[in-house]
Structure 1
Amino acid sequence: MSRWSAIVGYSLVGAATQLVWLNFAGVTTVAATHYNVSETAIGWLAQVFPLLYVVLSIPCGLALDRWFRPALLAGALLTALGALVRLGGDHFAWLLAGQLIASIAQPLVLNAVTGITGRYLEEKDRPTGIAIGTASIFAGMVLAFLLSAVFPTAASLHTMLLITAAFCVLSTLFLAATLRTPGPHAPAAPAVPQAIFTALRTAWSDPLIRRLCVLAVFPFGVFVALSTFAQPLLEPAGVTSTTASLILLLNVIAGVLGSALLPIYAARHHAESPYLVTSLTTTAIACLFLAFLPSTPVALITITLIGLLLLPALPIVLELVERRSTDAEGTAAGLIWLSGNLGGLLAATAVGLLVNHPRPAFLLLALLPLIALPGAHTLRHHLQTPAPTTR
Structure 2
Amino acid sequence: MTDSTTVGQQTYLTYKSRYIGLFAIVLLNISTGFVWLTYSSVSDAAQGYLNCDDTVVNVTSILYFVAYLIMGPVSGWMFEKKGIKKSLFFGAAIQVIGALLRYLANFVESTPASPGGRLALTLIGQIIAASAQPFFLNVPPKYAAVWFSENGRTTATMIGSVSNAFAAALAQLIIPEITKDKDSMSTSVLICLILSAVAIIPVIFMSERPPTPPSPSAAEALLETAEEPFWVSLRKVGSNKQFLILMFLFGTFVGFFNAFSSLISQFAKPYDYNANEAGYFGAAMIVAGLVGAGIAGPVIDRNKQFKTLLKTMVPLATLLYIVFIFVVRKDFFIGIIVVSALLGLFSFALLPIVLELGIECTYPVTPASSTSLLWGSGQFFAVIFLLVLGALQDEQKSRDTGINPPLIFIGVWCLLATFPVYLYKSPYLRLESESRSRAEYAISKQEYGMEEVPLEDTK
Normalization by structure 1: what TM-score? 0.88
The CA distance in 2 between the partners of 1:238 and 1:162, in whole Å, is: 30
> Residues 314 and 347 of structure 2 are in contact (CA less than 8 Å); yes or no, is this contact kept in structure 1?
yes
Matched, 1:353 2:368: no
CA distance in 1, matches of 2:233, 2:241: 15
Kept in 2: contact 1:134–1:259 (CA 8 A)? no
Q: Is the 8 A contact 2:40 2:262 kept in 1?
A: no
Aligned to 1:372: 417
Q: What aligned pairs does 1:1-391 form with structure 2 within 5 A after superposition? A: 1-2=14-15, 3-69=18-84, 70-90=86-106, 91-152=118-179, 153-179=181-207, 184-185=212-213, 187-191=221-225, 194-235=228-269, 239=273, 242-292=276-326, 294-295=328-329, 296=332, 297-324=334-361, 325-356=363-394, 358=403, 360-379=405-424, 381-384=425-428
Inter-CA distance 178–313: structure 2 relative to 1 (3 Å threshold): same
The 1:261–1:88 alpha-carbon spacing in structure 2 relative to 1, beyond 3 Å, is same
Aligned partners of 1:173 and 1:239: how far apart in 2?
39
Tell me if structure 1 keeps the 8 A contact 2:314–2:418: yes
Figure out how many residues of one structure are paired with residues of the other and give that number.
Answer: 387
TM-score, with structure 2 as normaliser: 0.76
1:245-264 Cα deviation digits (max 9, x unpaired): 32122112222222232233
Retained in 2: the 8 A contact 1:203–1:329? no
- The structure-2 alpha-carbon separation of the partners of 1:161 and 1:221, relative to structure 1 and needing over 3 Å to count, comes to closer
The superposition leaves residues 1-57 of structure 1 with CA deviations (integer Å, 9 ceiling, x where unpaired) of 132111111111111111111112222221221232333223322220001112222
Q: Which residue of 1 aligns with 2:113?
A: none
Deviates further, 179-188 or 128-137: 179-188
Deviation of 1:345 (Å)? 2.1
Name the CA shift for 1:55/1:241 in 2 (closer, same or farther; >3 Å).
same
Distance 1:129 1:385 in 2: 20
Query: Offset of 1:205 from its aligned partner?
Result: 3.9
Uncovered stretches (5+) of structure 1, i.e. residues with no partner: none
What's the CA shift string for 1:131-181, capped at 9, x where partnerless?
111121112112322331231133332332222222211211211211356
CA distance 1:384–1:136, shift in 2 (3 Å)? closer
Q: CA deviation at 1:366?
A: 2.0
Tell me which amino acid in the other structure corresponds to 1:194: E
CA displacement, residues 56-95 of structure 1 (integer Å, 9 cap, x when unaligned): 2223223223322222221122122222222224133332
Provide structure 2 residue ranges, at least 5 long, that are not aligned to the other structure. Answer: 1-13, 107-117, 398-402, 432-459
Mapped to 1, the partners of 2:345 and 2:203 lie a distance apart of 28
What SS is found at the alignment partner of 1:111? Answer: helix
CA 1:242–1:109 in 2, change beyond 3 Å: closer, same or farther?
A: closer
| C-alpha distance in 2 between matches for 1:362 and 1:48 | 23
Alpha-carbon distance in structure 2 between the residues aligned to 1:207 and 1:183:
36
Relative to structure 1, is the Cα distance of residues 267 and 218 closer, same or farther in structure 2, using a 3 angstrom cutoff? Answer: farther
